[in-house]
């Protein structure tokens, strides 16, 4: 039998008191900005899965794993199933071993879609079906983007929908200090044209608009690849971006060269980047935001992903001492509001009744809101209540995600490692060091061709 006989909304309400006192189910019915009706409807329709188990494996460790366990407790209460999650820092190796041995978990949580695509091609994933694909299209912001990212070729070479994204991160952000903007009389730009004009105005005022750093030890150069990817999405269609990432158009295609040179506008135009091109190449990305907080400011803006506050000065209150805005699109290009980022994709590696029920559970706003409320989680589910986010910062990032017309995964992560984590990185360092964009792009293309 289902735990607490969750067969109606009334039964859900009866259970609320116990949930409120249970650290494993910390949110009681009616508490928090959750769509409790969606949970009650799921519980009412869910089959009785008493005695069945659900196993999930992925890369999340504490605290992410602890937050996910709380979600699983609500699923157990609604269905009677016993659900468990196992996290590992070597998940990507372990899931391949388990799949080949015929002993995978029911659901695998992939940190990026490349490995999921490999398992799909090996016949080691179960397609989610047309109904789930249609649900994602209708209920995720930029739904077709998420369908594209979860669609892979099967063992027969035919495309099928395999993965639903759950927990997303953003890269299309520009960080700034509101007090500095206010003191200088600057406004947050709403278009790329306005962002470029603002950069020019800051230089005209005798200040430096940007802090940029590509240093990252053996991974030096990767921050520039994010710039190029973001610019590609703002100057070309999503289809061209996908062709570029798959090398269906060459790396030295004029459209890619243009994106590299547009990055150069920000990084190499005299006076635009703190310290000039030499400093851009050598400054560690973790140190690159420092100029925002200097007095007087060493720079006014820093483009970086949602994780960068971890490297702000101690005591910085995000949303007050530092804030962010969407890295805007070109108004003249009419490409909407593209967003670059990453995320985890859930795919079925061993189908069962409990597995099907859990994938249905993920369609409820409630499942996403429970994760949102615990922090460190962003969702493209358009049905969620943004007030479930614990901070205005996360709500603001969630709003950007829901406003996206296109979402694309970090391109370098989808390219062969020798390119995406090799020649692309080093090529961008060569570019800020003085090499031409065309020569750099040709060199990267040659490295790709050498793999064939």
What are the residue ranges spanned by the domains of the chain? 3-170+341-409, 173-339+410-449
Q: What is the homologous superfamily of the domain 173-339+410-449 according to CATH?
A: Periplasmic binding protein-like II (3.40.190.10)
Contact 327, 88 (CB under 8 A): no
Largest interatomic CA distance in the chain: 71
Given CATH 3.40.190.10, say whether it is the number of domain 3-170+341-409. yes
Is the preceding omega at residue 63 within 30 degrees of 0, hence cis?
yes
Tokens representing 255 are 């459209």
Classify each residue of 347-366 as buried b or exposed e, where b means 16 or more C-beta atoms within 10 Å of its C-beta. bbbbebebbbbbbbbbbbbb
For residue 218, the 8-state DSSP code is G
Reading the block at residue 229, the tokens are 């990817």
Distance CA 205, CA 300 (A): 12
pLDDT per residue rounded down to tens, the chain (452 residues)? 454 434 444 344 334 444 444 668 888 877 889 999 999 999 999 999 999 999 999 999 999 999 999 999 999 999 999 999 999 999 999 999 999 999 999 999 999 899 999 999 999 999 999 999 999 999 999 999 999 999 999 999 999 999 999 999 999 999 999 999 999 999 999 999 999 999 999 999 999 999 999 999 999 999 999 999 999 999 999 999 999 999 999 999 999 999 999 999 999 999 999 999 999 999 999 999 999 999 999 999 999 999 999 999 999 999 999 999 999 999 999 999 999 999 999 999 999 999 999 999 999 999 999 999 999 999 999 999 999 999 999 999 999 999 999 999 999 999 999 999 999 999 999 999 999 999 999 999 999 999 98
Q: Is 175 within 8 Å of 304 (Cβ atoms)?
A: yes
Q: Is 388 helix (H, G, I), strand (E, B) or coil?
A: helix
Q: Where are the alpha helices (H) located in 269-344, listed in sequence order? A: 276-282
Domains 3-170+341-409 and 173-339+410-449 share a fold: yes
């Amino acid at each position: 039998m289902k735990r607490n006989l969750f067969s109606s909304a009334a039964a859900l309400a009866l259970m609320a008191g116990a949930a409120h006192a249970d650290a494993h189910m910390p949110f009681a019915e009616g508490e928090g900005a959750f769509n409790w009706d969606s949970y009650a409807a799921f519980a009412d329709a869910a089959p009785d899965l008493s005695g069945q188990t659900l196993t999930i494996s992925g890369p999340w460790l504490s605290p992410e794993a602890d937050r996910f366990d709380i979600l699983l407790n609500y699923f157990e209460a609604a269905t009677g199933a016993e659900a468990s999650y196992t996290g590992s820092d070597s998940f990507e190796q372990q899931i391949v071993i388990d799949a080949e041995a015929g002993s995978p978990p029911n659901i695998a949580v992939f940190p990026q879609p490349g490995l999921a695509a490999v398992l799909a091609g090996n016949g080691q994933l179960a397609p989610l079906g047309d109904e789930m694909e249609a649900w994602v299209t209708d209920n995720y912001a930029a739904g077709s983007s998420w369908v594209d990212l979860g669609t892979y070729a099967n063992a027969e070479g035919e495309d099928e929908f395999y993965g639903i994204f759950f927990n997303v991160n953003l890269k299309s952000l520009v960080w700034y200090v509101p007090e500095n903007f206010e003191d200088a009389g600057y406004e947050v730009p709403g278009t790329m044209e306005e962002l470029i004009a603002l950069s020019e105005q800051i230089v005209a005022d005798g200040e430096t608009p940007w802090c940029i750093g590509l240093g990252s030890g053996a991974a030096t150069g990767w921050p520039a690849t994010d710039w190029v990817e973001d610019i590609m999405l703002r100057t070309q269609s999503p289809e061209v971006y996908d062709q570029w990432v798959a090398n269906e158009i060459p790396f030295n295609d004029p459209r890619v060269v243009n994106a590299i040179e547009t990055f150069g506008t920000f990084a190499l135009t005299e006076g635009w980047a703190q310290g000039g091109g030499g400093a851009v190449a050598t400054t560690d990305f973790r140190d690159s935001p420092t100029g925002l907080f200097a007095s007087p400011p060493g720079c006014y803006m820093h483009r970086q992903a949602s994780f960068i506050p971890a490297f702000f000065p101690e005591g910085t209150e995000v949303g007050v001492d530092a804030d962010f805005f969407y890295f805007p699109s070109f108004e003249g290009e009419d490409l909407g509001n593209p967003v670059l980022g990453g995320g985890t994709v859930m795919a079925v590696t061993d189908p069962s009744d409990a597995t099907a029920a859990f994938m249905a559970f993920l369609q409820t706003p409630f499942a996403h809101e429970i994760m949102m409320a615990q922090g460190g989680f962003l969702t493209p589910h358009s049905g969620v209540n943004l007030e479930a986010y614990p901070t205005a910062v996360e709500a603001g990032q969630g709003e950007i995600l829901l406003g996206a017309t296109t979402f694309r995964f970090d391109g370098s992560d989808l390219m062969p490692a020798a390119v995406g984590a090799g020649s692309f990185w080093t090529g961008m360092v060569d570019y800020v060091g003085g090499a031409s964009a065309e020569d750099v792009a040709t060199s990267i293309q040659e490295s790709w061709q050498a793999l064939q």
